[in-house]
Structure 1
Amino acid sequence: MDKKNSTAQEEVVEKMEQTVEPEASETEAADELVENGPVEEAHETKEESDPVNELEQKLEETTNRLLRVQADYDNFRRRTRLEKEADAKYRSQQLAEELLPALDNFERALMITPEAEETKNLLKGMEMVYRQIKDALNREGIEVIETVGQVFDPHVHQAVMQVETDEYEKNVVVEELQKGYKLKDRVIRPAMVKVNS
C-alpha cells in the first residue's frame, strides 16, 4: 500500500509540475519582457510617433494647399481688376467700329461741291451732324491716325500702294486712302496709305 501511495503521490506531483511549469515559449517571452521592457510599450511609442508624423504631413499639405488657393484667388482678383479696367477703358470700341463706316460716308458726301441753294443748306446740316459725331468720338478717346508726311508705321498704317516721288523721303506716307482710328492706345482701324518707296 505504501508503494501504491508513493507512486500515486509521485504522479500527482508530476502533474502539478507540468501544470505549474511554463512552456519554453512562455518563458522566452517572459525573459524578453524582463530584458526589453514590455512589448506593448514599444508598440505604443511607435504608434504615437506615427500619428505625429502623419499629422505634421497633413498640416504641411493643408498649408501648401491653402497657399496655392490664396495665390489662385489673388491672381483671379488681379485678372478681374485688369479686365474691368480694360472694359472701362475700351468700352466704346464696338460702337466706334460700327460708326466708322457711317463717318466715312459722311466725309465722302461732304466732298461734293453743291450748286443749288437747297443742296448747300443740306450740306451744312450734314456738316453739323458730322462734327457732332466726331466730337462725341473724341470725347471717348477716339482719334484719327496721322498719315501724310509721317514715317510709315506698320502698327498704325496699312500700305496698299508704293509710289516713287521726290517730294517725300523714303518710307514716308504720301497719300491717305482711308482714315485710320485709334481708341486711346489701341488701333481700331489702321489707315490705308500710299508709301514712298
Structure 2
Amino acid sequence: MAKDKKASKNQEENEVLEAENQTATEDQVEDNSAKEEQVEEQEELSAEEKLEIELAEAKDKYLRLYSEFENFRRRNAKERIDLIKTASSDLMVELLPTIDDFERAKKANENQEDIESVKEGFGLISTKLFKTLESKGLKVMETEKGTPFDADLHEAVTQFPVEDEELKGKIIDTVEKGYYLGERVIRFAKVVIGA
C-alpha cells in the first residue's frame, strides 16, 4: 500500500507537472499567436504608413508640378504681351530716318518759293518710305483699270455704267489702294466697278 500511495503520489505529481506543462505550452502558444498578431498589425500599419507616405509624396509632387506650370503659364503670357508690345519696334526704328526727312523738308519748305524742288523733295521722301515698308513685307495690291473684280481682295464702293462691254464687272477706278503684308491682305482695295 505504501507502494500504491507512493505510485499514486508520483502519478499525481506527474499529472500536475503535465498540467503545468500543458498550461505553459498553451500560454506559449497564446503568447506566440499574440506576438504574431502584433507583427501582422505592425506589418499592416507599416503598409498603411507606407501608403500614407507615398500619398503625401505624390501630393507634394503634384503641387510642385502644378505651381511650376502656373509659373510657366504666367511667364509665357507676360512674354507674349511684351512681344506684342515690341513687335513693331524694328519697323519704327527703320521709319525714324524718314520722319527726320519729313521734318527737314517741312522746315526747308517754309521759305521755299520753287514748287518743283518741294515736289521733288516729297517724292524722294515718299520713295524712301515705301522702300522701307517694302523691306518689311508690305506690297501694294494691283488694281489697274480692267482688272477683274475679286471679292477676296477688293471692296466695291459703287458701280458705274460703262459703254465698253469688256469693262463690265471689272475695275474701272481705284478709290483707295489695297495692301498685302507678306501674302496676307491687310487692307482691301476700294474700287469702282463697271456695270
TM-score, structure 1 as length reference: 0.49
TM-score, structure 2 as length reference: 0.49
